[in-house]
Homo-oligomer: A and B are copies of this chain.
Amino acid sequence: MILVNGVAAVSVAADDRGLMYGDGLFETVLFIEGRAPLWSRHMARFAAGCARLLLPAPDIDLLAREATHASAGQTRVVVRITLTRGVGPRGYAMADAPQPTRIVAASPAPIVPPDWYHSGVRVRECTLLLSEQPRLAGIKHLNRLEQVLARAEWNDADIAEGILCDAQQRVIGATAANLFAVIGGRLVTPALERCGIAGVARAEVLAHRPDCQVRDLTMTELMQADEVFLSNSVRGILPVAALDDHRWPIGEITRALQAHWRVLGLE
């Protein structure tokens, strides 16, 4: 089911700026039996994104009602909420009083192989290097061609994700997940001031583990880590078992965060 500005619909205006320029934001929220445990974190990021893009902040209660309506009766559903700057004007200049377009679309949650949680996933290193744009870093905007091109680098169902670095060979994350590593007993995740998306699952990990270091992380450090895992609001905590021929063990910190996810009701 799709709601466009609150009305069941299948389409949006062909001159919506979301389509013309990628001028907007989105969130993909996992609902399990009508509950979305990470909802507040999604809405916090959404509001931060609106401020960054100079978009009027959406009515959070209205979004909650629409997301609940769209996902009703389904056990595991992903609700994608998209907010664009709406129709026109043509050209990059914004309207003085934009009328944003709100799209709330529910679809069945993807099925993740259970073995990925138990035995970990294989990843690869993407050749595409993320660009640095502090004005857009962290938020979940609609300009996602870098992720699309990075994800197109492989077509092997056994490889769950691709690791993305910037041009300085700093690890930033994966195409659709954030990355954590345990290095010398300390939990570390890349700083995302220059590029990358600050995931809501990452925010949950950081809140649960305030000792986690947020800093630059090199590929060399990553290869020497004791544990590596990915976080994603829909897929949860995925241990990383291998990158090409390199293997990491699945350690206690990863397992503890998977347990935390179960406590949250996100399994």
| Chain A interface (Cβ < 8 Å from any Cβ of B) | 2, 4, 9-23, 26, 53-54, 78, 80, 82, 84-85, 90-94, 103, 105, 107, 110, 128, 131-133, 135-136, 141-152, 167, 175-176, 195
Contact = CB atoms under 8 A, between A and B. Distances in A.
A19 B21 contact: no
Of A16, A54, A143, which is in contact with the most chain B CB atoms at under 10 Å from its CB? Answer: A143
26 contacts: A2-B14, A4-B14, A11-B11, A12-B14, A14-B103, A15-B105, A19-B103, A21-B22, A21-B145, A22-B144, A23-B148, A53-B145, A53-B148, A53-B149, A78-B90, A91-B176, A92-B144, A92-B150, A92-B151, A92-B175, A131-B136, A131-B195, A135-B146, A141-B145, A142-B143, A143-B145
In the A-B complex, the 9 residue pairs with the closest CB atoms: A22-B22, A143-B143, A11-B11, A131-B131, A131-B133, A92-B151, A21-B144, A19-B19, A92-B147
A10 B85 CA distance: 17
Contact of A19 (B10, B12, B90, B149): B12
Given A23-B148, A92-B148, A143-B144, 19 more contacts: A2-B14, A2-B15, A11-B14, A14-B105, A15-B105, A16-B19, A19-B103, A20-B26, A21-B148, A22-B143, A22-B144, A53-B149, A91-B110, A91-B151, A92-B147, A94-B151, A131-B131, A135-B146, A142-B143
Nearest to A52: B149
A172 to B, nearest CB: 13
Contacts of A54: 149, 152
Copies of this chain in the oligomer: 2
A105 B13 CA distance: 12
B144 A23 contact: yes
